[in-house]
Amino acid sequence: MSSNMSTPTPSDTGHRTAGRVLDILEVVAASGRGLALHELSALLKAPKSSLLPLLRTLHQRGYLTHDDSGVYHLGVQLLSLRNQARGELDLREVSRSELQGLSRETGEATLLATLSDDHTAILYIDKMESVHRIRFAAGIGERRPLHSTSSGRVLLAFMPDSERDAVIKAIKLERYTEETLITELALRAELERVRAQGYCINIDQATVGRCAIAAPVFDCDGQAVAAIVLGAPKERALQHLDQWVAEVCRAAGTVSGRLGHRPEADPVRY
């Protein structure tokens, strides 16, 4: 996100306190890095004493978080509201044929994942089963951690910076295997790599012996709203990894196009 941001001008009409609350949220979101109290005071030309009660309330209600240095960031409650306000277009309907085709071509399980309402987990909302007896075990409606899943890391990687920071601060980096990323430094480095390459390969990080490949689905605004996932036992996946990565990315690109996304408008490559 660009560091050049425009400062909102409080309206002369409407409720002054409500307007100031919106001013706070807008400048924090536009900053891309969070803002301290003195920075908010300077940007909004408002006394610290008048801003502090509003900041405390926003923090208590989950709309802002603040770190040990006193910098305020967007909170997960705000992200949840944004998620609920999105259009009613059924992602499952739009994605179904691609999930079916991807499963048919590979013989493996394919899934559609979205963020949970609180943005602290991923939720599988559709699935095509593998033709094999030994298969990727996950069911529709299951929640899985963000940091240890391919779809979770894809959706984290393509969040705006301030949103990603808020979510990372809200989740617990629990260990599930020896390969699980359990430090913020390691997770952020992985997210940078995922964003650069446009997909995520997850091997042994949630369950030993399992591999998952995920690529982001973008809407018409360029927001990552879901992930296409292919899951398989590690031994089978490693035999076809490059081919399957390409097919997962192609399927995600097709679904994104159906949602009105134009890949030439951003650096993501399918």
Structural domains present in the chain: 16-74 (1.10.10.10), 89-265 (3.30.450.40)
Q: What is the pLDDT of residues 177-187, one digit of tens each?
A: 999 898 999 99
What pLDDT is recorded for position 46?
93
Flag residues of the chain having pLDDT under 70.
1-15, 79-89, 263-270
Q: What is the pLDDT of residues 15-42, one digit of tens each?
A: 688 899 999 999 998 888 899 999 999 9
Identify the H or E element spanning 225. strand 224-233
**Is there a contact between 251 and 98 (Cβ–Cβ < 8 Å)?**
yes
What values do phi and psi take at 257, rounded to 5?
-60, -40
What pLDDT is recorded for position 133?
79
